[in-house]
Structure 1
Amino acid sequence: MDKWKNPKLVLVSVNEIDLQNKEKEKRAQELLTANKELVFQNDEKEKRAQELIVANHELVLQNIENEKRAAALTLANADLLRQNAEIKELTLALEAAKQELETAYLEKQRQALVLQAANQELESFSYSVSHDLRAPLRAINGFTEILLEEYIEKLGEDAQYLLGEIIANSKKMGQLIDNLLDFSRLSKQQISFARVDLDLLVRSVTDQLCRLEPEREIQFEFDCPDAGFGDRNMLRQVLVNLVSNALKYTSKKQKTRIQIACHREENNCIFSIRDNGAGFDMMYYDKLFGVFQRLHSSNEFEGTGVGLAIVQKIIAKHGGKVWAQAQVNEGACFYFSLPFSS
């Protein structure tokens, strides 16, 4: 039987077709929704892919930077190793130098002790010899004066002249012994530190020395505004010796000019005595402050060669130093330093 001719069968077929169409529409809608989701997912994937590309690019840049840093660290590490090697080498050299310095210091101390002992022995010997020479020298001088006083009528002119020379030289010898004793006593003499008015002390010394040579035309210039610390008696001896030297070596000048000044440098008072006298050759400067060392002959200028040695020793005991500058026939300038406080 033909199904299209049966109404029930036709209704069933129509319903089935309608149901199938609805299912298809539903399926189409689901497919459409799924397609939209797929499109969205694809967009997300593209976006994520783009982010991954950017991240990958950044990672490449970071890797390049890390490689640069690694290379720099490698160089820095190599430089550090080199510096460590140099430090180790310098440390070893420093240790060796320290050891050498300690050895040299100990040797210097040993030599200083030996030198101190030798100086003490020499000073004791000098003092003893100088002291023992006084008695025979006084005897020579006394007997010579007796000859001149009591037997002068029996002596010829030549004999009188020779006896006069004996007396003159015995006096020089006496002065030499006195100076040597003064020099020897300095080692044992204690310093009494006190504030010293240098201007007052200088004027006192120059007045005393000028009275010994009233016939000379002497121009003194003073500039001593500061005070120093030291032993007044010792410093007086320093000034007497230096000013006496200035007077002696300007004695052949028509007009004597002596400048005495002092000024402050840090914690020291620098004292200077400048004259326009004979001066000396700086070539022989090393001999200037030695005992019995003279840069001029006794025929030119009298002296024992002890005065400047005494000056140096006194100033050294005060913790200062003494030095000089000069030019032949143009004068000399002697300097010494003193502390401003005790």
Structure 2
Amino acid sequence: MAERMDLEKRYMNMLENMPGIYIETDPHGNILECSESAAVLFGVKREELRGSDIAERFTTETDAAFFTDCLSGAKQICGYEFTAADINGNEIILRGISLCEVSGGVFAFISSDVTDESEQEEQSRLTSEELEMKLLERTREMTRAYNELDNFSAIIAHEFKAPIRAIRLYSNIIADELDSTLSRDAEDALCKINEYCDKSLDLIKNLLEFSRLKARIPEHSQVDMNKLVEGCLNDLRVIHSEADIRVNTALLPVVSGDEFLLRHAVYNILDNSLKYSSVREYTDIDISCRTVGDMYEFSFKDNGVGFDMSGSADPFTMFSRLHTSDEFKGTGVGLAAVRSIVEKHGGRVCISSEPDKGCLVVISIKK
């Protein structure tokens, strides 16, 4: 834990020492992090910038569209001047210096404030070569810090598996050795130990899987969504052989995407439908698709127990649970993985539900 805190501290220190105005965004332009200088420039707190769309800071649609093209790699940001505004409506001119992907789905946007002549004079003292070398060095350090954080999480999760398995093994030995002399409370305690060991191992497995999915760079190909959904359902029918699964699937299109990642997302959605409808007489799932602009919207509607959205946290946040573990097993990682995968494909995911009225999950993917 101390090592992870040290890595995070190093990362924040590097962020503050980055030259110019530093802003991190996801592939859609949503601000993930920024330097204090960026917050001061816009006249707001850093917390207010996080989670907002960077396009909202630009005063023209042309600048917002140009930034989106730079994120996709279609255009280069160096030298382009963006017109923005602070909280009081005062005009700010940001000259693009660099836009690069420092980690999977995380882009670093570095610019300079050239609104005032003094800033322009200061910037001119730095030769392009000096600035480029400094930015390159900082980018490499940022990349190393991200990789260290990811690797540290994976190592910790992996190392936890051995002691947890040992705990379960020794509890079973105790149960076997003292079988006839164990009290009812002792038996219950040993059962609880095994139960929590199983939950911990499931959580570690899901965390490692989530880490691998998040780090994967999508390899696009033509994916037949009809075949993909059918394959997921066939696998689930084998696992849930006792369940009465009824599926109504419309004709689905072929999309450009990473088949491995998309299959994982669809599998998680359908697996949730089976889980939360397991108390019903049968599972009923409707799968359809419609075209909205340049996006395909895939809908998955089930007849599960549903949940109250007004009192629930964001279901796509890591470890968020829609029901208690006593009602339905789970680790709260599956839907977080779905959102990460869909966002890697330039889309969005949303969910709607009511208690006892099932659940609707919609994922959008670019054509």
Q: Which has the larger radius of gyration?
A: 1
State which of 221, 233, 249 in structure 1 corresponds to 2:248.
Answer: 221
Give SS of 2:281's match: coil
Match of 1:164 in 2: 191
Match of 2:260 in 1: 233
CA distance in 2, matches of 1:277, 1:96: 47
The answer to whether the Cα contact below 8 Å between 2:351 and 2:360 also exists between their aligned partners in 1 is yes
Per-residue displacement from partner, 1:21-54 (whole Å, max 9, x unpaired)? xxxxxxxxxxxxxxxxxxxxxxxxxxxxxxxxxx
Query: Aligned pair in 2 of structure 1 residues 255, 109: CA closer, same or farther (>3 Å)?
Result: same
CA distance in 1, matches of 2:236, 2:180: 38
Match of 1:318 in 2: 345
Match of 2:310 in 1: 283
Query: Aligned pair in 2 of structure 1 residues 101, 217: CA closer, same or farther (>3 Å)?
Result: farther
Give SS of 1:174's match: helix
CA distance in 2, matches of 1:110, 1:286: 33
Match of 1:305 in 2: 332
CA distance in 1, matches of 2:316, 2:247: 25
Per-residue displacement from partner, 1:87-123 (whole Å, max 9, x unpaired)? xxxxxxx9774942638999x8369x99998865653
The answer to whether the Cα contact below 8 Å between 2:214 and 2:341 also exists between their aligned partners in 1 is no
| Residue 292 of structure 2 is aligned to residue 265 of structure 1 | yes
Query: Aligned pair in 2 of structure 1 residues 103, 296: CA closer, same or farther (>3 Å)?
Result: farther
The one-letter amino acid of 2:333's match is V
CA distance in 1, matches of 2:313, 2:304: 20
Match of 1:179 in 2: 206
State which of 218, 235, 255 in structure 2 corresponds to 1:208.
Answer: 235
Match of 1:102 in 2: 94
TM-fit CA distance, 1:166? 1.2
CA distance in 1, matches of 2:241, 2:352: 29
Higher helix share: 1
CA distance in 2, matches of 1:96, 1:313: 29
Give SS of 1:258's match: strand
The answer to whether the Cα contact below 8 Å between 1:249 and 1:278 also exists between their aligned partners in 2 is yes
The answer to whether the Cα contact below 8 Å between 1:130 and 1:181 also exists between their aligned partners in 2 is yes
The one-letter amino acid of 2:303's match is N
Query: Aligned pair in 2 of structure 1 residues 218, 127: CA closer, same or farther (>3 Å)?
Result: same
Match of 1:274 in 2: 301
Query: Aligned pair in 2 of structure 1 residues 105, 275: CA closer, same or farther (>3 Å)?
Result: farther
The answer to whether the Cα contact below 8 Å between 2:223 and 2:255 also exists between their aligned partners in 1 is yes
CA RMSD of aligned residues (A): 3.1
The one-letter amino acid of 2:264's match is Q
CA distance in 1, matches of 2:239, 2:267: 12
Determine what percentage of the aligned residue pairs are the same residue. 34
The one-letter amino acid of 2:109's match is Q
Q: Relative contact order (C-alpha < 8 Å, sep 6+): which is higher?
A: 1
Match of 2:362 in 1: 335
TM-fit CA distance, 1:284? 4.6
> 1:68-107 to 2 correspondence within 5 Å?
97=85, 99-100=91-92, 102=94
CA distance in 2, matches of 1:334, 1:309: 13
CA distance in 2, matches of 1:167, 1:215: 25
Give SS of 1:208's match: helix
> 1:108-147 to 2 correspondence within 5 Å?
109=109, 122-147=149-174
Number of residue equivalences: 246
> 1:44-55 to 2 correspondence within 5 Å?
none
Give structure 1 stretches of 5+ with no counterpart: 1-93
Query: Aligned pair in 2 of structure 1 residues 120, 283: CA closer, same or farther (>3 Å)?
Result: farther
Higher strand share: 2
> 1:62-73 to 2 correspondence within 5 Å?
none
What's the TM-score, normalizing by structure 2?
0.59
CA distance in 1, matches of 2:333, 2:188: 29
Query: Aligned pair in 2 of structure 1 residues 104, 333: CA closer, same or farther (>3 Å)?
Result: farther
Give SS of 2:286's match: strand
TM-fit CA distance, 1:334? 0.5
What's the TM-score, normalizing by structure 1?
0.63
